[in-house]
Amino acid sequence: MGALSFSWLALVLGASPTSPSAAEQIQNLDASAQLALLQSGQRSSLELTQAYLLRIEALDQRGPKINAVIERNPDALKQAQARDLARKSGRCGALCGLPILLKDNIDVAGPMATSAGSLALAHHHPLKDAELVQRLLDAGVVILGKTNLSEWANFRSSNSSSGWSSRGGQTRNPHVLDRSPCGSSAGSGAAMAARFAALTVGTETDGSIICPASINGVVGMKPGIGVVSQRGIIPISHSQDSAGPMTASVRDAALLLGAMTATPISLDFTQATLAGKRFGIVRKAMGFDARVDALFDAMVLRMRAAGAELMEVELAHHGEYRADEFTVLKYEFKAGLNEYLGQTGSTVAIKSLTDLIGFNQDNQALVMPWFGQETLLSANALGDLSSPSYLKAARSARQQAGPDGALRALKKHRLDALIAPSNAPAWRVDWVNGDNYGGGDSAIAAVAGYPSITVPMGQIHRLPVGISMIGAPDGDNALLQLAYAFEQLSQARIEPAFRPSLETP
């Protein structure tokens, strides 16, 4: 695969097919470095965009068929040309000319659909961009297309396969193709690992950025709730949903997050350090894989050697909020989806959760060949957001996970962050039995609404595993600084090998 990627990139950029230098400028540099090439005039946005589109064609649609991109933007090359002209006139934003992929539950006005991976919304064309998309376009990005996802952001069935949708099919893990990419932001994570864009955006309610980022071996951040606008994103939960960056590096994550939000995000990492920083090890979030624990404990020793202070901490009510969380998500999903579909302005016939359930029932062979829609049915049977059962569950879950849980530990021990492994190695894709998650605990931050980030920590049989850091409320900037310092220490990111299976060399 390496020779193939070099040859087509060389043709695009005018270099010798035997020389990897031109390819490395695109494929092996993070977005921050690519931006420097654009700003210096060494590369144009049109060249970058052409190169990425060709790479998507060669490795996503053909070749190993990662199937991360659900739809390509027919206007991408026009956008790139416009960015090049704007740069020359000095009227281009902070991400001027960088090609980006967006998860297919984020509204983009124009020719591409916003479907949440569902055939029910295959012809849903929003009339307005999501607020975060407006900000990204103002910053000068080129939208390459949309990424596949677990259908309805993995909120359709408890037996689903991460990265599978009725509209997009199954996304593959570019490290080992028969392994899961996790989800629900499967396409964004796999696309970033396979270098199909300079930057990608995912969304998370609980684990949908952290898991696919870590399993695909990239950086993924779920910002604190409210940092990124939810307007124009197909919802699950207004109390837990957030879009966030999935990138090749922590610096790129900060760069992208800064363009997505009105909240100032620091790009100055000159003072980023582990020395003197205090971390709380959440041991109860571990123990799911002895090999992962060994990698984590070895990394703890390296962090201590770099001057960090680490201690084991207990979180009160750890995990006790999960039942209440699921109750909250079902209530909020029904209310949020009905509002979204009722106000979208699109000509699509699906205007409510009831309509969606009916569509799925009428199209079972196409929509539900492997798993059903019991989560949708359960949500639709509930009342509205004034229901006492919802209000009680919402208060209890957030209090237990946040003020009485993570925040209490952060304050009591004067911690800069909580840490634990992000995941076990990726499991085999299994459409019959569904996902076989091996471990990881994203719910601590997700239910509390606090920022969290995963950074590559190592690999087991060439399958990436990450480390998660959870910060305090409004601590997004501080968390990025810690993650950057850790990244400089670990240097653990690996490039995907596109192996068909672990049994195939």
Instruction: Tell me what pLDDT residue 17 has.
Output: 32
Instruction: Tell me what pLDDT residue 16 has.
Output: 33
Does residue 397 form part of some domain? yes
**Global pTM exceeds 0.75:** yes
Catalytic residue of the set 208, 237, 242, 452: 208
Note down pLDDT in tens along the chain; length 505 residues.
333 333 334 434 333 333 333 544 566 789 999 999 999 999 999 999 999 999 999 999 999 999 999 999 999 999 999 999 999 999 999 999 999 999 999 999 999 999 999 999 999 999 999 999 999 999 999 999 999 999 999 999 999 999 999 999 999 999 999 999 999 999 999 999 999 999 999 999 999 999 999 999 999 999 999 999 999 999 999 999 999 999 999 999 999 999 999 899 999 999 999 999 999 999 999 999 999 999 999 999 999 999 999 999 999 999 999 999 999 999 999 999 999 999 877 778 999 999 999 999 999 999 999 999 999 999 999 999 999 999 999 999 999 999 999 999 999 999 999 999 999 999 999 999 999 988 999 999 999 999 999 999 999 999 999 999 999 999 999 999 999 999 999 999 999 999 999 987 6
Instruction: Provide CB contacts within 8 A for 170, sequence distance 6+.
Output: 67, 161, 163, 164, 429, 431
Does residue 400 form part of some domain? yes
Does residue 465 form part of some domain? yes
Does residue 47 form part of some domain? no
In the annotation, is 32 catalytic? no
Catalytic residue of the set 118, 161, 166, 184: 184
Does residue 503 form part of some domain? no
Query: DSSP letter string over 305-370?
Result: HTT-EEEE-PPTTTTTTHHHHHHHHHHHHHHHHHHHHHHS----S--SHHHHHHHHHHTHHHH-SS
CA distance linking residue 462 with residue 465, whole number of Å: 9
- Could you give the number of structural domains in the chain? 1
Does residue 101 form part of some domain? yes
Question: Which 3-state string (H, E, C) describes 81-108?
Answer: HHHHHHHHCCCCCCCCCCEEEEECCECC
3-state secondary structure of 470: strand
Does residue 445 form part of some domain? yes
In the annotation, is 501 catalytic? no
Could you tell me the two tokens for 139? 């910053």
Instruction: Tell me what pLDDT residue 505 has.
Output: 64
Does residue 408 form part of some domain? yes
Instruction: Tell me what pLDDT residue 12 has.
Output: 40
In the annotation, is 208 catalytic? yes
CA distance linking residue 104 with residue 202, whole number of Å: 9
CA distance linking residue 218 with residue 65, whole number of Å: 19
pLDDT tens digits for 422-437?
A: 999 999 999 999 999 8
Catalytic residue of the set 103, 222, 277, 330: 103
Could you list the residue range(s) of the whole structural domain that residue 409 is in? 69-497
* CA dihedral sign, ordered 424, 427, 433, 434: positive
The interaxial angle of helices 388-401 and 322-343, nearest 10 deg, is 120
Write the CATH number for 359: 3.90.1300.10
Instruction: Tell me what pLDDT residue 346 has.
Output: 75
Instruction: Tell me what pLDDT residue 7 has.
Output: 39
Instruction: Tell me what pLDDT residue 348 has.
Output: 87
CA distance linking residue 255 with residue 275, whole number of Å: 24
User: What does residue 37 show for φ and ψ, rounded to 5 degrees?
Assistant: -65, -40
| Residues 218 and 89 sit within 8 Å (Cβ to Cβ) | no
